[in-house]
Amino acid sequence: MRGATIKDVAKSCGISVSTVSRVLNDRPDVNPATREKVQSAIRELAFVPNNSARNLVKTETANLAVIVRGFNNPFFARLLKAVETDVYNSGYAMVLHHIDSSADEIMAAAMLAAEKRLCGVMFMGGRFDYAPKELNMLSVPYVCVTYTNTFGSLADTDYASVAIDDYREAWRAVEYLYERGHRRIAAIVSGKADRSVSELRYRGYRDALLHFGIEPDEALVRESKDFSLAGGYRATQSLLESGADFTALFVIADTMAVAAIKALRDNGRRVPEDCSLISIDGLDISAYVDPVLTTLEQPAEDIAHAGVKLLIGLMEGTGGNAHSYFPAILREGGSVRELD
Amino acid sequence: MRGATIKDVAKSCGISVSTVSRVLNDRPDVNPATREKVQSAIRELAFVPNNSARNLVKTETANLAVIVRGFNNPFFARLLKAVETDVYNSGYAMVLHHIDSSADEIMAAAMLAAEKRLCGVMFMGGRFDYAPKELNMLSVPYVCVTYTNTFGSLADTDYASVAIDDYREAWRAVEYLYERGHRRIAAIVSGKADRSVSELRYRGYRDALLHFGIEPDEALVRESKDFSLAGGYRATQSLLESGADFTALFVIADTMAVAAIKALRDNGRRVPEDCSLISIDGLDISAYVDPVLTTLEQPAEDIAHAGVKLLIGLMEGTGGNAHSYFPAILREGGSVRELD
């Protein structure tokens, strides 16, 4: 007994094979009633779709790994969704692996590659200081997403990356506060010298202050150690307990900024009346807190698409190493006030 | 030239092989200085770990798929992290696939299974109304996580599940409000008849009202269509615009509850002074909004561990179909007030 084919499904619904195929591929351009009818027919006929066109090209599906560093940043969840859709549409399977932000992503990738038949690796978050030698451990193509090799010794031609310009965006955040009259600007960073995104944003903050003729004051900077709500809360609490004097706060990530608003409020300081606040990321949640955050939104979908495209180009030999920067988009909320 | 071995790494650090192994497996019981030393030695020697003990048992790694239905519920992100750690520690690779909440997860799984050499599937979110025939499409073991077959015709012995009791937890939420004097209790659900988690929670809400002698009023119920912030905001806004009279709001998920607080505030109603609010999920964010949400927390880690254990038991033939329920844990915040 042969199994049902896509033609059987189309015939039983009285529609074309290409419409059935659009349903199978979860395409949006199918009306809901038709989708429902096709799905019923598939169940009725116990049809198992097998993407035959795709299988003509590839006899066995290759795994592409995404290694996410750190568990606490919802920005990565947003990126991941866009990446996953692109990977799947390209005919690869996506293997996901989270590592702690203190763990080594190169080692994790090398282990995965040895065990899981990988054909490529996307690093989502990672150290900015790779040396060529350690990358030799990795025998498959890779792309760095949300970071570059600023602090390392890789040649630009030896790796691929997609990111925002962390240094520059932090600079812009400080500039935004400065233009609204703020001079005592505090900062919540993850780490000042973590050789990663936080160090770059901290440097951008510091250099912007210097540029505007303000002497950076280390008493106004606190490290949260990670990107969690709890970390952001603790760091802000510690800053407030120190009695430091500031009119505005630059927080390097939205998650921590949401917690910072709560810490300020728990200490009797309203945002923006008593303290202005600006951050980076543009997560959905930032538009649903009180006040709505003023934030520099990372174009997550653009970053994801560019990252997958770069990686697949490297894997399939149709593209080379390259570097893309996307500017963040200023989204003004109600968390910054102009000083008189 | 032979590559470096784990012994070479241990020797160069002057520590035992088992300590190096603990670092490789990202175990917490290693002090940071030792971890750093081992990681440096690994880079220096270009050692590629290969989990040899694990490889003695399995010659090729099998993929286990997790199919997440719906993109908007951060609760799934929390579950996913716990699931992924367990899957990886069990020696499998985890293939992740998100589908739209209108798409069919069985079809997605059948397609993945045909293409990606799967040995098992975890459904994270799905329809509660499978019929035996459609499950025949799936040739590998599977487990339903966060839902059961309440509305379907599968025999309990024919499938495995791990979930909370959605009906009962919604009941508890209403009971909590009722005990504090609330009688006009509105609800924001995703769908009243979606054959899924939302319908069960809606039924729990309705039946609890009836139990307490309150006639359910459909004018107090709004459907958000999904679990997003935007959906929760729109549904609450629509409820407020209708002029409906209520003192408390039951929202079926934390994400939507965060947006509901904002919609209430944007309409000049304070929580809990003018309207009490309770929800289900216990996401981290619920403790960082103003006021802190009173919510029934789903034990995500317990659910994840149980789900992976069930699935691997089925895959390896060491366990059978079973069903686990975990009670939610009441986490009292400041979003409910007692009526005088």
- Interface predicted TM-score (ipTM): 0.75
Which residues in chain A have their CB less than 8 angstroms from residue B114's CB? 48-51
Which residues in chain B have their CB less than 8 angstroms from residue A51's CB? 111, 114-115
Tell me the residues of chain A between 287 and 316 that have a Cβ less than 8 Å away from chain B: 287-290
Structure tokens at B256: 């939507």
What does the pLDDT read at residue B40? 82
B110 and A CB contact within 8 Å: yes
Which residue did the predictor score with more confidence, B154 or A70?
B154
Chain B residue with the nearest C-alpha to that of A43: B134
Which residue did the predictor score with more confidence, B6 or B197?
B197
What does the pLDDT read at residue A40? 82
Is the CA virtual torsion B201, B202, B205, B208 positive or negative? negative
Mind listing the pLDDT tens digit for each residue in A228-237?
899 999 999 9
Query: What span, in angstroms and rounded, lies between the C-alpha atoms of B155 and B145?
Result: 17
Residue owning tokens 């049809």: A47
Tell me the residues of chain A between 203 and 232 that have a Cβ less than 8 Å away from chain B: 228-230
Exposure string of B169-197, with b = 16+ CB inside 10 Å and e = fewer, is bbbbbbebbbebebeebbbbbbbbebebb
In a 13 Å sphere around the CA of A179, the CA atoms on its Cβ side amount to 7
Give which of B261, B255, B144 is closest to B196, Cα–Cα: B144
**Between A98, A107, A265, which is nearest B39 by CB?**
A107
Residues B248 and B182 sit within 8 Å (Cβ to Cβ):
yes
Residues A254 and A281 sit within 8 Å (Cβ to Cβ):
yes
Enumerate residues 6+ apart whose C-beta is below 8 A from A201. Answer: A166, A167, A169, A170, A189, A252, A280
Query: What span, in angstroms and rounded, lies between the C-alpha atoms of A126 and B318?
Result: 39
**pTM of the predicted structure, to 2 decimals:** 0.80
Region for B292 from its dihedrals, namely left if φ exceeds 0, alpha if ψ lies in -120 to 50, beta otherwise = beta
Per-residue pLDDT, averaged over B218-223, amounts to: 98
Query: What span, in angstroms and rounded, lies between the C-alpha atoms of A340 and A73?
Result: 36
B241 and A CB contact within 8 Å: no
What does the pLDDT read at residue A115? 67
**pLDDT tens per residue, chain A (340 residues)?**
356 777 788 888 888 777 877 777 666 678 888 888 888 887 777 776 654 333 333 445 678 889 988 766 788 888 988 898 898 888 888 888 888 777 788 888 887 777 667 889 999 988 888 888 888 878 889 999 999 988 888 988 989 999 999 999 999 999 999 999 999 999 999 999 988 899 999 999 999 999 999 999 999 999 998 888 999 999 999 999 999 999 999 999 999 999 999 999 999 999 999 999 999 999 999 999 999 999 999 999 999 999 999 999 999 989 999 999 999 999 999 999 999 8
Cβ separation B46–A133 shorter than 8 A = yes
What does the pLDDT read at residue A58? 40
Residues A286 and A313 sit within 8 Å (Cβ to Cβ):
no
Note if the bond before A291 is cis, omega within 30 degrees: yes
Lowest-pLDDT range of A35-39, B183-187, B221-225, B268-272: A35-39
Enumerate residues 6+ apart whose C-beta is below 8 A from A329. Answer: A282, A296, A297, A299
Give which of A253, A297, A293, A287 is closest to A271, Cα–Cα: A293
Query: What span, in angstroms and rounded, lies between the C-alpha atoms of A197 and A126?
Result: 9
Tell me the residues of chain A between 144 and 173 that have a Cβ less than 8 Å away from chain B: none
Per-residue pLDDT, averaged over B279-286, amounts to: 95
Tell me the residues of chain A between 32 and 71 that have a Cβ less than 8 Å away from chain B: 32, 35, 39, 42-44, 46-51, 54-55, 60-61, 63, 71
Which residues in chain A have their CB less than 8 angstroms from residue B288's CB? 229, 233, 258-259, 262
